[in-house]
Amino acid sequence: MADPSGSETLPIRTSTDVVQVRQAVRRAVTQLGFSLVDQTKMVTAASELARNTLEYGGGGTVRLETLQEGARRGLRLTFEDQGPGIPDVERALTDGYTTGSGMGLGLGGARRLVNEFAVTSEVGVGTRVVIARWK
Amino acid sequence: MAQNGAGRFADVLAKHEAQILEDWVADQRRAGGGRSLGRLSEAQMREEAAEFLRLLRQAVQQQAAAGAGGETDTDGPGWDAVREFLAGLSRSRARQGFSPTETAAFVFSLKQALFAHLAREAGGDADVLFAEVWQATTLLDQLGLYTTTVFQKSREEVIARQQEELMELSTPVVKLWDGILAVPLIGTLDSARTQVVMESLLQAIVDTGSAIAIIDITGVPTVDTLVSQHLLKTVAAARLMGAECIISGIRPQIAQTIVHLGVDLSQVSTKASLADAFLLALQKTGRGITRGAGAGVTSGAGPAA
Amino acid sequence: MERIPILKMGEFLLVTIQVDMHDRLALQLQDDLTNRISQTGAKGVLIDISALDIVDSFIGRMLANISLMSRVLDAATVVVGMQPAVAITLVELGLTLPGIRTALNVEKGMELLRAYAAGVASGGGDGGANVGADGEGADGGPVR
């Protein structure tokens, strides 16, 4: 549920949760007044990263936060898992790199859809991906 | 001291308002040297000066009556009328083409006349004079900077509005024939503009059910890597939707640039002119153009390009 | 178990995706569709995605797979009705799906399928929808 500060945390345990994440992100960006194209980009990025969290991280959570900086408004998503971690983040960001069943566009593709993108990962500890998109 | 700084300041303003106004208007006339006066009649200048002095006096008097001395906060509610007046002034100056300096100078130029009267009232007491001048200068600095802030903001608003208008103006998607759209691009393409073009073209494709769209870049002076990537993305997006793009009007220099940049246009139909592209579009939709007595465009085989 | 319905219209199969699909549902559709093609000997598959407000890499891959599998089973696939915002996002994502044939809407998609089934569709194309509104006149000269 959304708390007063405008942040919301959702679990990512099943493929139905990925759908829930998409819908929650769609609600958030619609409320922020994003254009349809910007909405679609953010929801698609969220879908890619939520699936990554599920498939490679063994499940985790996503936190949605609305941002305000002067007149600018935006949305930040933080995906966290306690999975095996990514040994080589740089390589994971290149297109076509995949260890799973995807097309290898997850991370690199999601990066192109947002304004801010950061990955921190430690082998054996987990991965955290933070993205933000401004209106 | 019988009165605090704000009280004295308010008294001086009230007592000598008319004379301060005269001195101030004279100062402005001198400082302007006829340059600013050309855009602003003396009557208008005097009217604005009188109005500002009146509002300033009211605000200072109100503050003095409330017993608030020392630091003056012009963001406070007592200053609403002054701020509102200055905001209106800044906006009209911005529209009339004054610089931010000239606009702020309206407020700053009051200092000379005001300080002279404060000095006369202080009667040689340097400490009193210093306190009053300090208070007055802090106040006028805040108000002067406020005009600059408003000035800049109104300029930004103008620019933003013009950019929006320009975007809408510069991206007309036209229907050439049933099922054939064209978008003639003119001027330099930056990312934001290309994105608008892309979106309005793709939307028009859906709205009109057109399977072919011609992007004419005859009016585009240069094409860099970013722009050609945007064009290719538009073509790819249109294809995903089930429409085909033809790029026309590629001038020789642009063709050279594209090759030098290593941009791959092999998957895209390109034509030298809009006319050639239109002919290709007609052929692709099973039409052609023949010269004849009455028949303009006929269905069927057309002359090969 | 929830499933996406597959309609049979003559020698073609018609699928309209109207729900936000989770991944298992997408895989289920892929299975169902290939089974139906081989059971019915369908000549073409039309997938209408006009109601989808996003296509991510997973759905994109499913569409590409269906297209490839149906080709092996001698059926053409046309994906119709992709929204502009979805198309822009897919391209930005790096997914241009070159193997998939597309059309603007169901009507144009059906024309395309009929043309393929009749064997008059242009050969070398990689799937650009270049069958015109009046197909009977499409004897046109060399296109490029």
User: Per residue in A114-124, pLDDT tens?
Assistant: 999 999 999 99
Does residue C103 carry a pLDDT above 90?
yes
Which among A106, A98, A97, A104 has a CA at the least distance from the CA of A45?
A106
Q: What does the mean pLDDT of chain B come to?
A: 83
Question: What residue ranges do the domains of chain C occupy?
Answer: 6-103
User: What six digits make up the tokens of B246?
Assistant: 């033809």
Q: Stretch C75-87: mean pLDDT, rounded?
A: 96
Residue A1 placed within a domain? no
Crossing angle (nearest 10°) for helices B126-169 and B110-122:
160
Does residue C141 carry a pLDDT above 70?
no
Tally the C-alpha atoms within 13 A of residue A75's C-alpha that lie toward its C-beta. 26
- B294 and chain C in contact, CB less than 8 A: no
Find, in chain A, the residue whose alpha carbon is nearest to that of C61.
A103
Q: Stretch B185-193: mean pLDDT, rounded?
A: 79
Smallest CA–CA distance, residue A5 to chain C, in Å, is 28
Measured from the Cβ of residue A47, the count of other Cβ atoms closer than 10 Å reads 25
- The pLDDT of residue B294 is 59
- The pLDDT of residue B10 is 81
Is CATH 3.90.1150.10 the classification given to domain C6-103? Answer: no
- The pLDDT of residue C144 is 35
Does residue B141 carry a pLDDT above 70?
yes
Task: Tell me the three state secondary structure of residue C3.
Answer: coil
User: What six digits make up the tokens of B36?
Assistant: 């600013």
φ, ψ of residue A119 to 5 degrees: the values are: -120, 130
pTM for this predicted structure: 0.70
- CB contacts, 8 Å: A18 with chain C: 22-23
Neighbours of chain C (3+ CB pairs under 8 A): A, B
- The pLDDT of residue A97 is 59
| pLDDT, greater one: B263 or A55 | A55
- B226 and chain C in contact, CB less than 8 A: no
Which among B46, B72, B48, B75 has a CA at the least distance from the CA of B60?
B72
Q: Stretch B149-169: mean pLDDT, rounded?
A: 80
- B207 and chain C in contact, CB less than 8 A: no
B264-294 burial: b if 16+ Cβ within 10 Å, else e: ebeebbbbeebebbbbbbbbbbbbbeeeeee
CA–CA gap between residue B166 and residue A30 (Å, rounded): 27
- Cβ atoms of B193 and B167 closer than 8 Å: yes
- The pLDDT of residue A5 is 53
- The pLDDT of residue B301 is 46
Measured from the Cβ of residue A24, the count of other Cβ atoms closer than 10 Å reads 18
CA–CA gap between residue C144 and residue B299 (Å, rounded): 19
Domains by residue range for chain B, with CATH: 2-163 (1.10.490), 174-284 (3.30.750.24)
The 10s digit of each residue's pLDDT in B85-103 is 999 988 888 888 888 888 8
- Cβ atoms of C73 and C39 closer than 8 Å: no
Find, in chain C, the residue whose alpha carbon is nearest to that of A96.
C94
Window 48-67 of C: residues touching B by CB (8 A cutoff) are none
pLDDT confidence of B212, banded at 50, 70, 90?
Answer: very high
Q: What ipTM was assigned to the predicted interfaces of this complex?
A: 0.86
Does residue B4 carry a pLDDT above 60?
no
Domain membership of residue A59 as a residue range: 6-134
HEC string of B89-109 equals HHHHHHHHCCCHHHHHHHHHC
Measured from the Cβ of residue C3, the count of other Cβ atoms closer than 10 Å reads 10
Residue A53 placed within a domain? yes
- C138 and chain B in contact, CB less than 8 A: yes
Bridge-based pairing of strands B287-289 and B269-271 is unpaired
Does residue A55 carry a pLDDT above 80?
yes
Q: Which of C91, C96, C143 is closest, CB to CB, to B283?
A: C143
User: What six digits make up the tokens of B233?
Assistant: 């993305």
Does residue C134 carry a pLDDT above 50?
no
Neighbours of chain A (3+ CB pairs under 8 A): C
Q: Given an 8 Å threshold on Cβ–Cβ distance, is C58 in contact with A19?
A: no
- The pLDDT of residue B12 is 84
Number of structural domains, chain A? 1
Please report which residue ranges of chain B form alpha helices under DSSP H.
Answer: 5-32, 42-65, 80-96, 100-108, 110-122, 126-169, 191-208, 225-241, 252-261, 274-284
pLDDT confidence of B255, banded at 50, 70, 90?
Answer: confident
User: What six digits make up the tokens of B47?
Assistant: 């009217």
The 10s digit of each residue's pLDDT in B289-304 is 888 765 555 555 444 4
DSSP 8-state code for residue C136 = G
pLDDT confidence of B265, banded at 50, 70, 90?
Answer: confident
pLDDT confidence of B164, banded at 50, 70, 90?
Answer: confident
User: What is the residue whose two structure tokens read 């300029």?
Assistant: B155
Find, in chain C, the residue whose alpha carbon is nearest to that of A44.
C56
If you compute the radius of gyration of chain C from its CA atoms, what whole number of angstroms results?
15
- CB contacts, 8 Å: A41 with chain C: 88-89, 92
Residues B133, B136, B140, B143, Cα dihedral to 10°: 150
pLDDT confidence of B216, banded at 50, 70, 90?
Answer: very high
Residue A45 placed within a domain? yes
User: What is the residue whose two structure tokens read 């009232």?
Assistant: B121
- Cβ atoms of C96 and B236 closer than 8 Å: yes
Does residue C100 carry a pLDDT above 50?
yes
User: What is the residue whose two structure tokens read 């998409």?
Assistant: A22
Per DSSP, what are the bridge partners of residue B271?
Answer: B248
- C141 and chain B in contact, CB less than 8 A: yes
Q: Given an 8 Å threshold on Cβ–Cβ distance, is C84 in contact with B179?
A: no
Does residue B39 carry a pLDDT above 70?
no
| pLDDT, greater one: B253 or C76 | C76
Q: Given an 8 Å threshold on Cβ–Cβ distance, is C53 in contact with A37?
A: no
Which range is least confidently modeled, A107-121, B53-67, B276-290? B53-67
Residue A16 placed within a domain? yes
Which range is least confidently modeled, A1-15, B61-75, B122-136? B61-75
CA–CA gap between residue A12 and residue A118 (Å, rounded): 19
Does residue B139 carry a pLDDT above 80?
yes
- CB contacts, 8 Å: C100 with chain A: none
The 10s digit of each residue's pLDDT in A11-54 is 999 999 999 999 999 999 999 999 999 999 999 999 999 999 99
Task: Tell me the three state secondary structure of residue C15.
Answer: strand
Looking at chain B, the whole-number percentage of residues with pLDDT higher than 90 is: 24
- C97 and chain B in contact, CB less than 8 A: yes
Give me the amino acid identity at A62: V
